[in-house]
Structure 1
Amino acid sequence: MEFYFPTELGEQLAFCSAAFTALAGFVMMFAPGHALRLLGLEAREGRPEGFGEARSMGGFYLGFGLSAIMLAQDWIYMALGASFVMAAFARVISILSDKGSNVVNYLLLVVQIALAALPLLYAFGYISA
């Protein structure tokens, strides 16, 4: 079995979004302490649930990103993009409702919008060659 890397620019961008998702998931799954600190979060002493949630979320990101890479189908890329759209929407709600107006939240919002746009633009045919 050969490693498939897309030849069209649009699919390459969608592939990169999936690869970044998988990489972020890998880091969250195997280094949850570093991932939580990077996000400005902290698990409480003696409470492993925080690390468990970070690892679980990392496993989800890793699985979703790898699935998109291995299957390389428009519908999978569309699902990846739609998931990041909802994540970005939730972050906007947090910024407006939870007094979360800070640089980290805005930076992560931009990242989530980019991770949503790349696969969606490809899936809907706006970027092809």
Structure 2
Amino acid sequence: MEFYIPTETGEFLAFSGAVAALLLGLVGLFAPRLALKFNGLQLRDASTEGCAAARSLGGFHAGLALCAIMVAQDWTYLAVGSAFSLAAFGRILSMMSDASFGWKGLVLLVVQMLLAMLPLAHVFGFV
């Protein structure tokens, strides 16, 4: 099987979004404490359940992104874009209802929206 790097602009942007999602997922998978600290979360009493949840979520992101990279089909890019769209929507809901509005949350919202828009713009033919 040959590794495929897209040459068309739209598909390359979707591919780049999937690579970014893969890198973020790998950080969560292999450095869960760092990922949790970056998100402003702390583990209490040296709990292993928190690390397990962070690794699991990081593995999910990495697996979904790796699938999109390896298969390079519109429907896999649609899955990555949809996942990050709902993650951004959840962050917006949290900002409105949980009073978690802050600069770090806004930056993470922009990152999630960008990671959602790159694959979705390709899938829906905007790029």
For residues 72-102 of structure 1, what are the alpha-carbon distances to aligned partners after superposition, in whole Å with 9 as ceiling and x for unaligned?
0001111111111111110000000111011
Whole-angstrom CA distance in 1 between matches of 2:46 and 2:22:
29
Whole-angstrom CA distance in 2 between matches of 1:74 and 1:46:
42
Alignment length (residue pairs): 127
In structure 2, what is the equivalent of residue 100 of structure 1?
Answer: 100
Structure 1 runs, 4 residues or longer, greater than 6 Å off? none
Q: Return the letter of the residue paired with 1:36.
A: L
Whole-angstrom CA distance in 2 between matches of 1:78 and 1:56:
22
Whole-angstrom CA distance in 2 between matches of 1:85 and 1:34:
24
Whole-angstrom CA distance in 2 between matches of 1:70 and 1:94:
33
Query: TM-score of the superposition, structure 2-length normalised?
Result: 0.97
Is the counterpart of residue 40 in structure 1 residue 40 in structure 2? yes
Gap regions ≥5 residues in structure 2: none
Whole-angstrom CA distance in 1 between matches of 2:60 and 2:98:
25
Structure-to-structure mapping, 1:69-80, within 5 angstroms: 69-80=69-80
Whole-angstrom CA distance in 1 between matches of 2:16 and 2:2:
18
In structure 1, what is the equivalent of residue 55 of structure 2?
Answer: 55
Where 2:110 maps in the other structure, the secondary structure is helix
Gap regions ≥5 residues in structure 1: none
- Deviation, 1:2, is 2.5
Whole-angstrom CA distance in 1 between matches of 2:65 and 2:79:
11
**Aligned CA-pair RMSD:** 0.8
Whole-angstrom CA distance in 2 between matches of 1:50 and 1:57:
11
In structure 2, what is the equivalent of residue 20 of structure 1?
Answer: 20
- Deviation, 1:51, is 0.4
Query: TM-score of the superposition, structure 1-length normalised?
Result: 0.95
- Deviation, 1:55, is 0.2
